[in-house]
Structure 1
Amino acid sequence: MSVAAPDAVPVRDDVKRRLWDAAGGWHGAAVAVGILALSRLVQLVLLVGLDRRTAEPAGLRATLLVWDGGWFTRAAAGYPHGYTYATDGSLEGNELAFFPLFPMLIRGLSHVGMDPGTAALTVSWLASIGAAVALHLLGTSLWGRRSGWALVAICCTAPMSVVLSMAYSESLFLALLAGMFVAAHRQVWWAAGLLGLGCALTRPTGAAAAIALAVAALLAVRSDPARKWPPLLAAGVALSGVPAFLAWVGWRVGDPDAWFRIQTAGWGTSFDFGSSTLAFLGDTLTSSQGWVPMSVALILLAAAAAATVALWGRPWLPLTVYGVVAMVLVYGQAGYYHSKPRLLLPVLLTLLPAVIAAGRARPRVAVLAIAAWSAFGLWYGAYMLTVWPYTI
């Protein structure tokens, strides 16, 4: 399987070291934002409809601010100075588990008069627009314009893409991640470094993005040794992000392992090399566990199969490295099994076979296939947020 779409267009020499190609970028970006807007509109309609059918409707705003949204808005008000304990003395999770960039942006908008909830949703929705544009640029740079639009459509309607409308950090992370890859591919190293640092300060998976940027930097140094410092500095900046935040949490609490202990205490998150994921799959596929656990198990298996197909096609190495490391982090950690489809959303590697196939297919076939995918993905996310009673 080749990963080059038939309409793939290499970046021209005159725009190779620019993030934006004004000659063709505005139309492509407008279509990408239109795709995002349509997906969000359908998602919101589904959310309202399903919420009204529940025993105790929460309302759209409250629904979009649940779970991690509350943690992020509280983190925006300020991080605690130490551990948090329950009344029985057991360690609990607290806001220090959440990386700082998203809360910082919420806090910035709060200073201009927005309440924290509105600020959180505003950041998320604006970041979703940035993610749509950056995903289009990434797909267009690697496989061609049709594949760029397909990447936007498939990613923005995937199961659990509902978080792109919520006060969650996935939209911000996706925007920074795709932008980082575009910058690295076009060798705009100052932007790649800053965007990579932003990834690393948004989610723990930013470590995978930083490693991928380091791979892109090494490839650039090998091809042009005389211009080695810009890519190496970009990689160094990105690689510093996750360790810096973990060290800051350790310093603030007075325990070098503080972030990991808080994660485990609050959400059962720890790296167990995939044993809990394998146990979940085994239990779910061999016993009656209900349809939601079964759907999560099938999503995990389908994502692993799609990633294998993508790797067979040997995509761009930095994207490959990021995808593999990110999947190891998702599959290798213990935690809530029903959160894993959300954690898979920014991996991108699992979407490549569908994206490339859509770029090669006749437009009508591609549109119908993506529409079918979207119908399931958007409904699934709305159901998990309104009907499913547990955190996503």
Structure 2
Amino acid sequence: MPELTRAVPTAPAPPRAPRRERVTTALRAAAPALQAYAAVRLLGLLVLAAAAGVAGKDPHTLLSARWDSLWYARVATQGYGYEALTPDGAVHSNLAFFPLLPALERGISEITPLSVPDAGLLVSWTASLVAAWGIYAVGARLHGRRAGVLLAALWGAYPTAFVQSMAYTETLFTALAAWAVYAVLTERWIAAGTLAVFAGLTRPSAVAVVAAIAIPAAVTLVRAYRGGSRPRELVREHGRMLLGVLLAPLGWLAYVLYVAVRNGSLFAYFEVQGQWGNGFDGGRALAGFVWQNLTTNVFAGLGLCAALALVLWLLWLLVRQRQPLPVVVFTAAMVFVSLVGAGYFGSRPRLMMPAFPLLLPAALALVRLWRARAAAVLAAAAAASAAYGAFTLLGPGPP
């Protein structure tokens, strides 16, 4: 008789490290990125402090109590319902501002000695580090740790990066968006959907985060269906992914419905945005602004055209470099929603700032340079960003 084959017991899988240990390990790996980002932003704050001192202005007030910061603080202290009448007769309602940041400001101010504006700064500065960590995590997963470090540092040197140090929603939203994209890349669908819920309570542009979850999920389902999977099998095999997709838009929808119920109109939120001049117009306002500059100040018009061409070229590079679908979808959607509104053109670069993958081609180019040259380029970008930030914050207009 043939000898029976003895079954060899398989080695048990190594136990998974506790969550706290995994977070500590990941944070230690991200430390160079956080240090580089913090150094870039610290330079911006130092330049602002010096310039504000010369101009006789208070840098703390510039960061915590200016422009939209005042509106968020008013929501935190008074709730919704405040309206302001502009000189041209338009009504500006604070219902245009999503609730997560003012809710955090109010909560922190009630349990700490911090004022509401200072609580807003605490949220913004803390979220900026979390955002830099998430940006590093995406970059490191796609192209290695050095690319992740450079990507986070470049985001800190973005032209309008001074907003990252203000009591605004940009850092909070970017932190949620970056980690949501990372969760999709690592197939943590429920985590991605949950992060999208909070992003949807932070900014209307959370539709880009929802798209970064829903479109890759749809592609996955279509491929599985074409591969022979039946609908019941798709639900069983991809249940967590479907749950993440269903969760993703709930934060955004919840606030839009809240405004609809409060004002008694299904499209009330969009009416509020329209009163602010921020309605969707398909890009007509942008085209008109560019044309106006081309016909009145040709150099400014050509500069605007060059900037828009640069953004489109960077998007094309992401596609050409075969970046993952969630990264491309999120970036393209962020650029789209930033450019098709009817709002003030000067806010477009700020609205586009969460689209951090636009900086991936630059980060990859710096990876190929010697470290000294890469550091010099990054230092020059940080200095230019710091100077522009001080110039803008000390000026009369909004960013």
Could you tell me the TM-score, scaled by structure 1's length? 0.87
Give the alignment of 1:256-271 within 5 angstroms: 256-266=266-276, 268-271=277-280
Q: Structure 1 residues 318 and 87, CA, compared in 2 at 3 Å: closer, same or farther?
A: closer
Counterpart in the other structure of 1:358 = 366
Structure 1 position 183, deviation (Å): 1.5
Amino acid at match of 1:309: L
> Could you give the per-residue CA deviations for residues 252-290 of structure 1, whole angstroms, max 9, x where no partner exists?
111222222222223x11111112112212222443389
Q: Distance in 2 between matches of 1:136 and 1:346?
A: 14
Counterpart of 2:290? 281
Give 2:315's aligned residue. 307
Q: Which residue of the partner structure matches residue 193 of structure 1? A: 193
What SS does the corresponding residue of 2:398 show, helix, strand or coil? coil
Measure the CA separation in 2 of the matches of 1:19 and 1:235: 27
CA–CA separation in structure 2 for the residues paired with 1:153 and 1:340: 21
- Is the alpha carbon distance of 1:68 and 1:314 closer, same or farther for their aligned partners in structure 2, counting shifts above 3 Å? same
Would you say 1:123 and 2:133 are equivalent positions?
no
Deviation of 1:297 (Å):
5.8
Deviations 1:52-78 (A, max 9, x none): 343xx3301110021010011111124
Identify the residue that residue 31 of structure 2 maps to in structure 1: 30
> Is the Cα–Cα contact under 8 Å of residues 157 and 374 in structure 1 kept in the other structure?
yes
| Equivalent in the alignment of 1:97 | 96
Structure 1 segments unaligned to the other structure (5+ residues): 1-12
Distance 1:298 1:342 in 2: 17
| Residue range with higher mean Cα deviation, 317-326 or 186-195 | 186-195
Opposite residue 374 of structure 1, the aligned amino acid is A
Q: For the residues of structure 1 that align with 2:195 and 2:149, how far apart are their CA atoms? A: 22
Higher-Rg member (1/2)? 2
What letter is aligned with 1:147? A
Q: Say if 1:79 and 1:96, in contact at 8 Å, map to a contact too.
A: no
Shift of the 107–380 alpha-carbon distance from structure 1 to 2, 3 Å rule, reads same
- CA offset at residue 303 of structure 1? 2.1
The residue type equivalent to 2:319 in the other structure is L
Q: Secondary structure at the match of 1:111?
A: helix
Residue 377 of structure 1 and its aligned partner are, at CA, apart by 2.0
RMSD, matched Cα = 2.7
Query: Is 1:331 aligned with 2:339?
Result: yes
Distance 1:286 1:351, change over 3 A: farther
Find the counterpart in structure 2 of residue 10 from structure 1: none
Corresponding letter in the other structure for 1:109 = I
- In structure 2, the residue corresponding to 1:271 is in which secondary structure? coil
| Paired position in structure 2 for 1:227 | 237
**Quick check: 1:71 aligned with 2:66?**
no
Q: Select the residue among 332, 342, 362 that pairs with 2:350.
A: 342
Q: Is 2:85 the counterpart of 1:86?
A: yes
Instruction: Give the distance between the partners of 1:243 and 1:29, measured in 2 at CA.
Output: 34
d(CA) in 2 for partners of 1:285 and 1:263?
28
CA distance in 1 between partners of 2:305 and 2:39 (Å): 29
Check conservation: 1:280, 1:337, Cα contact below 8 A. Answer: yes
User: Is the deviation greater in 338-347 or in 220-229?
Assistant: 220-229
State the partner residue of 1:5: none
Aligned-pair CA distance for 1:250: 1.1
So what's the TM-score if we normalise by structure 2? 0.85
- Matches of 1:187 and 1:22, distance apart in 2: 18
After superposition, the C-alpha distances for 1:291-327 in whole angstroms (9 at most, x for unaligned) are 7x87666544422322222222231101111111111
Query: Which residue of structure 1 aligns with residue 262 of structure 2?
Result: 252
Per the alignment, residue 112 of structure 1 pairs with: 111
- 1:192 Cα shift? 1.4
What amino acid is aligned across from residue 95 of structure 2 in structure 1?
A: L
Q: 1:308 to 1:281 in 2, by over 3 A?
A: farther
